[in-house]
Structure 1
């Protein structure tokens, strides 16, 4: 039955990046000043792939079994998360545990180069003396670019006509080129395994997520003349599994849209054995090398896992997430999908971003991976909000009456309200550090806010900026930034802010989920690509 439900896909594995966004930015800037321009360009887009890369995570050799969903807010050392700054490192713990037991590692390559045209993206990757390459095709919407883009797994995800109709490009990604299905676990094939070996323990889902990240690297290096570095990802069935993993393990992905992903996808691993007719974990493990080799130890005992997929959902928070499920095919485990969505939604709520997650299985058409009328409006709303910065997200949890889930039966933990804080408690607060190309000022003494621009990376024709905002003695619930460029610099694309430009004058506003900042705290709230020479303008911040 598995083959009649799922179409085909591909692979990956990981190494944590050495620094947090600003530290990586400094390293890239230093490389540029040392005339290593090619290397700097390769690093341009990947500094923010994982914001918690500076967190010290030690995975224990063992952990207690738990028949219920693990507490996302309890750290490996047994203490509980109380702030957003602590959540950054807790998310890194979940990431490391998930790689160790479920998916396999996602390595960070030495360099990535490539090109973006109106019809194609080429990707060249080098790591530890080995090289590989692959490509993806591009379909642009009508109108004048640059455009945000949705990466579609195998041309088989959310309705491409609807995506294009929102003024969003479609990047058709062939995951089989990066990690081929139909291969044994000890002889995996594809671009990922060309670098990391045919016997790599990393499963296909993580391998294909690695490929998505490399496409984003190239988009971010391209300067934003065709595609903006504001990216979504989608796929259905086995491609839905892949899209889910891609969105969880790359924090640059603004919108994740998995469809009917079933076992090995969104569906809660502990719930699947109790959902009659759903694809067993042993089947999901053996049908294709989707999951990492280590998962074989848990197919008959998911309660022994230190994580579950509600925490993988939580890894995506507070970014946009729209999960679509099919309640009419038992094999797809929609009840377990609903459970994972409800559990992950608690992380969104704790971060004050509860409206950024939507789950929808209340459909009348049971055809697998069909284009459904019930999904069209929330799909448009999600794309407009998270890729274009307009309108409101759908903010809906709509479970089919026959496939509802009860989170209370699966947890003993409660959901905290996480206070705002710096990205990491283990590093010097960004507002106290001066980096090349960056203005610096202390937190405002009053109830206002301050902001500064850091040059994250620069190449021959442009540069990438990262914007930090600090609240004063009182919390703020939104912000507006204004500045005037001192020269010919102009923003060509941006993400996580609503930006308007008039000549040399720039105005940027928050996009809702990133507007709230606690008193005296700093948030790296958004970024942009600009033309000209990297520079840090004097920024005026006005609280909402």
Structure 2
């Protein structure tokens, strides 16, 4: 799929932005607040036995990221550490293959021009290297690891004050090899018949680079302020790198396509590269995924949970809505699903998904990404910004999370981790819409908003009152300048001013107290919306 792409285009856009000042002095030694100090914070978590492949049920909707393997749901933010570990183990077993822990010996060197990595484990050895292009000044500098190289765009990241580490994934996991004879530094250590796919092998390589940066003491490059990016197949890799190493402060996958961000359950219905095609093209997936290429609904995990593995760290997903083969609608659903975990953790501002771009060229440099890109690098790597992330989907590739989930998002407490089942109180959605007041009959409506400069997405929850309803209408008034551009799970009347939304055939009947959701995307500023529901 899309061979030999131009990579690291995210950072290339910085050069044209012109608003980021190169850093020439020394960066502080304090750790970036968004990165963890270890590769895997949940390595000590006790994980119940994972399900066997033969016992997996079919589930068309996305798995509940808040539901533990024992069937209970997490109730505090501290519970996420070990729930994330369960997701990681499921993803390794059924999708990507295992990412081994740090080998017994990782050594190397760091300079302003290069990094060398030497690995020894169980009597086997391998090595690889990466080039470094550091800004002028004394450092130590934040780092952006670019999968696949990016040539003339070196000046773009340097202009932001970060060093560029050009990493060749093929040195660690080579494409064009059969699954029973995988090649590269990873497979030299773990065997050429390892069931681990290339994406995790590439992630392992970046983790070993960070190991060397840590052991070097940070005099040149900072291991605690590291970002990663790449486009197309290297976007797949960047996504997995960020998910599997919690020392990565900022993950920036671009147009990653199947095996990247798009939900695996959504790929078959969108016209994206098929799962079987992606599995067969290269050994990107782990070997075990071959059993699911025709039945992704049997997977106990999906990529919205891979997104969630990155939380609460920085994530900026850049996508192309004009190429269906990339699965942009499914990618937006993954982002929306993962964003629910970000919000439950109080980290909603740390995720951005952006597919609202005009140019459909694969891996092109896009002006629309310049400002959010600057903001993400400043916030997560330089520590000089606090911009809020946004979900900005193009109208032709707008995903609808409500169609893909049966679970709601809990309000997680701030107390210690608990293994006890949560309260029997029904969880609320995050970000929580204002709950409609109880009504003796009829219906109520509440709206939650995700707004950005020039647009917004509204999610409206309709709840039946004390009696069942056979249909509903929701009326609200948009402020001047705001218009409806797209809607889902509803029939919309009007695009500005006083607008109305009615049920469609499958969501009009609600039992007493039952709720359903619809949504719409708009331009302009939504302000405060006050919906009014009428049962029909």
**Scaled by the length of structure 2, what TM-score is found?**
0.70
- Would the aligned equivalents of 2:109 and 2:115 in 1 still touch at CA under 8 Å? yes
1:56 aligned onto 2:51: no
1:91 aligned onto 2:81: no
C-alpha change, 1:6 and 1:274, in structure 2 (3 Å) is farther
Q: Deviations over 1:427-470 (max 9, x none)?
A: xxxxxxxxxxxxxxxxxxxxxxxxxxxxxxxxxxxxxxxxxxxx
2:228 to 192, 209, 233: 233
Deviation at residue 342 of structure 1 after TM alignment: 0.4
Deviation at residue 420 of structure 1 after TM alignment: 2.5
Tell me the residue number matched to 2:523: none
Deviation at residue 158 of structure 1 after TM alignment: 12
C-alpha change, 1:6 and 1:65, in structure 2 (3 Å) is farther
Deviation at residue 144 of structure 1 after TM alignment: 3.2
1:411 aligned onto 2:405: yes
- Would the aligned equivalents of 1:378 and 1:394 in 2 still touch at CA under 8 Å? no
1:398 aligned onto 2:392: yes
Deviation at residue 6 of structure 1 after TM alignment: 5.3
Tell me the residue number matched to 1:323: 317
Deviation at residue 128 of structure 1 after TM alignment: 1.0
- Would the aligned equivalents of 2:227 and 2:251 in 1 still touch at CA under 8 Å? yes
Q: Deviations over 1:92-128 (max 9, x none)?
A: 0000000000000011211211110000000011111
Matching of residues 112-191 of structure 1 within 5 Å: 112-156=106-150, 160-191=154-185
Distance in 1 (alpha carbons) for counterparts of 2:388 and 2:159: 17
- Would the aligned equivalents of 2:329 and 2:397 in 1 still touch at CA under 8 Å? yes
Deviation at residue 3 of structure 1 after TM alignment: 4.2
Deviation at residue 157 of structure 1 after TM alignment: 11
- Would the aligned equivalents of 1:143 and 1:167 in 2 still touch at CA under 8 Å? no
- Would the aligned equivalents of 1:157 and 1:259 in 2 still touch at CA under 8 Å? no
C-alpha change, 1:319 and 1:296, in structure 2 (3 Å) is same
Matching of residues 270-419 of structure 1 within 5 Å: 270-276=265-271, 278-419=272-413
Matching of residues 246-261 of structure 1 within 5 Å: 246-261=241-256
Deviation at residue 141 of structure 1 after TM alignment: 1.8
Tell me the residue number matched to 1:266: 261
Larger radius of gyration: 2
Tell me the residue number matched to 1:438: none
- Would the aligned equivalents of 2:37 and 2:247 in 1 still touch at CA under 8 Å? no
Task: Give ranges in structure 1 of 5+ residues lacking alignment.
Answer: 9-44, 427-544
- Would the aligned equivalents of 2:5 and 2:363 in 1 still touch at CA under 8 Å? no
Distance in 1 (alpha carbons) for counterparts of 2:5 and 2:268: 19
Q: Deviations over 1:268-301 (max 9, x none)?
A: 100011102x100101100000000000000001
Q: Deviations over 1:174-194 (max 9, x none)?
A: 000001000000000000000
What is the CA RMSD across the aligned residues, in angstroms?
2.0
C-alpha change, 1:421 and 1:52, in structure 2 (3 Å) is farther
1:202 aligned onto 2:196: yes
Q: Deviations over 1:19-70 (max 9, x none)?
A: xxxxxxxxxxxxxxxxxxxxxxxxxx99711001110112122332210011
C-alpha change, 1:217 and 1:377, in structure 2 (3 Å) is same
- Would the aligned equivalents of 1:152 and 1:171 in 2 still touch at CA under 8 Å? yes
- Would the aligned equivalents of 2:75 and 2:418 in 1 still touch at CA under 8 Å? no
1:78 to 51, 71, 78: 71
Distance in 2 (alpha carbons) for counterparts of 1:163 and 1:394: 21
Tell me the residue number matched to 2:60: 67
**Scaled by the length of structure 1, what TM-score is found?**
0.69
Tell me the residue number matched to 1:15: none
Tell me the residue number matched to 1:106: 99
What number of residue pairs does the alignment pair up?
A: 388
Stretches of 4+ moved more than 4 A in 1? 3-8, 156-160
Deviation at residue 143 of structure 1 after TM alignment: 3.2
Distance in 1 (alpha carbons) for counterparts of 2:151 and 2:330: 20
- Would the aligned equivalents of 1:327 and 1:402 in 2 still touch at CA under 8 Å? yes
Deviation at residue 7 of structure 1 after TM alignment: 7.3
Task: Give ranges in structure 2 of 5+ residues lacking alignment.
Answer: 8-34, 420-536
- Would the aligned equivalents of 1:157 and 1:239 in 2 still touch at CA under 8 Å? no
C-alpha change, 1:379 and 1:161, in structure 2 (3 Å) is farther
- Would the aligned equivalents of 1:145 and 1:225 in 2 still touch at CA under 8 Å? yes
